Amino acid sequence: MKKPFNFVTCELLVATALVLTTPLSRAFAAEALTPDAAAKALGELKNLKGGSEVSFDAVTGMARRLTDDELHKLSREVGVGRTEGMRGWVRAAVLAEWGRRDFNGVMQHLSKVAQLDSGHQQALYAVFRGSRPAEDAPALAHLKRMFTDYPSATGAFTRGWAKRALEDVFGELARSNPERGWRLLTTDGEDGPEQQVLNFLTGAFNRLRKPMTKSHWVAMESFFAGLPDLDSVRTYAAKFEKLWNTPEVIAALKVYNAQDFASGGSMGWTPPPRQEGVASVVAISMVRFDLEAGIDWIANNGPDKEREKSGRIGHMLTYWAWANPGKAITFLKGKAHPEWNETVVMALMRGDASRALEVAGDYGKEPWIGRALSGAFPAAATMMDMDYFPVPGKNEVLPSHKVRYDFFVEAIKNCPLSEKVRQDVTRSLNNAFQYTVDDALKAYQLAQEK
């Protein structure tokens, strides 16, 4: 039987890393490991299904200690399969390090492995992060090169790796040089205004194989998400709105809508200028600083139809509560918008499973509590942002999937649900956590046999 991971098995220096009390000091200790000790430690970490006390900074430090041979060997061992648990973190660290040392070599390696969805995206983002130039223009050119020169990198945008790469670049620009970021977003080289807006609408998902298109949703959302304060958001929101109300934009929208209608809707939704174009992007950025400002923005700048406006507010609150579970609790207790309780409760449990028992107790008699619990399970079972795309410098420690699972078990147990709803919610819980928690897998398999 494989022993649980313990630094003591990995030589004295690794044991020293365990007894250091802070994630940062552990990262420094990891940099001091011998290559053999680092390889052994990472080899054991990759087999952990749940979380660990080891920060991603420490995992990154260990990867930097590997010889090229050990780095290549471990990269092959972690593969590009599932991302949950420490295996995904080890993959993210070793492939970023390989990308830093030998970009062409690691891309050739990835072209030979099965392009399974989640792990392959995680691997590509890690390579980009490890190999990208620091400056924005070379970084964007490097991202374009990954798409144009390496077939294994294409087709993965819709699930996140290149989206996350663009978020990095444009988020950094918004914080350091927003005027330059805005110019990049609203100037498209040889493209005229109409083509610029068509590029923006169709998005980067199917355009990165062409010369880099800068005016699209991902970059614009990332830019607004990176702005440092509410005044900055309002300043660029005014510029954004002005852009969307120019004759060139209106003409381009007519062309886009006609193309979409002719293709039976295959190009996606057809947004009026003030619906998707301003309301959602700006409001989601505003709520980072002031929730009511975001709600007011949608009320005054969003779509005219009340149903569509309500959908925009719900989308914004979902994002906000997921990222700010503590503030979401305060929002619920304030009772200012009870019509949004279900949306906020579900989203905050996605972001912080430890709140499940509290909100299930407070809202256990609501007819929607079963839906809110079940809706929170898939995201809580993977903690997608953290599991998929960890980055050094944050001293992140991967939360235990088992701990999150147990929080939900207690919430279901103490929530006054009908027996049928309790069974359905429990089934959803075990289905979501079956890949990361042994208890969930056993319960799921037992239910399948009945």
This prediction's pTM: 0.77
CA gap 287, 233 in Å, rounded: 10
Residues 169 and 309 in one domain: no
262 and 340 in a single domain? The answer is no
**140 and 73 co-located in one domain:** no
- Residue 259 tokens read as 């193309």
Q: What is the mean pLDDT of the chain?
A: 78
Whether 220 and 313 map to the same domain: the answer is no
Q: Which range, 121-135, 139-153, 236-250, 384-398, has the best average confidence (pLDDT)?
A: 121-135
The residue among 94, 113, 131 that closes a domain is: 131
Exposure string for 214-224, b = 16+ CB within 10 A, e = fewer: bbbbbbbbbbb
Identify the domain containing residue 10 by its residue range.
1-131
Q: Domain tally for the chain?
A: 3
Q: Are residues 126 and 262 in the same domain?
A: no
Confidence of residue 435 (pLDDT cuts 50, 70, 90): confident
Same domain, 362 and 424: yes
Residues 433-438, mean pLDDT to the nearest whole number = 88
Side-chain half-sphere of 237: how many Cα atoms within 13 Å?
25
Separation CA 427–CA 447 (nearest Å)? 8
- Same structural domain, 433 and 333: yes
Report the distance separating Cα 430 and Cα 193, nearest Å: 51
| pLDDT tens, residue by residue, 183-229 | 777 765 445 444 444 454 444 333 333 333 433 567 778 888 899 99
Query: In this predicted model, what pLDDT tens digit does every residue of 405-434 receive, in sequence order?
Result: 999 999 999 999 999 999 999 999 999 999
pLDDT tens digit sequence for 87-137: 889 999 999 999 999 999 999 999 888 766 578 888 999 999 999 999 888
Name the DSSP class of 55: B
Domain shared by 393 and 258, yes or no: no
> Positive or negative CA dihedral for 341, 344, 346, 352?
negative
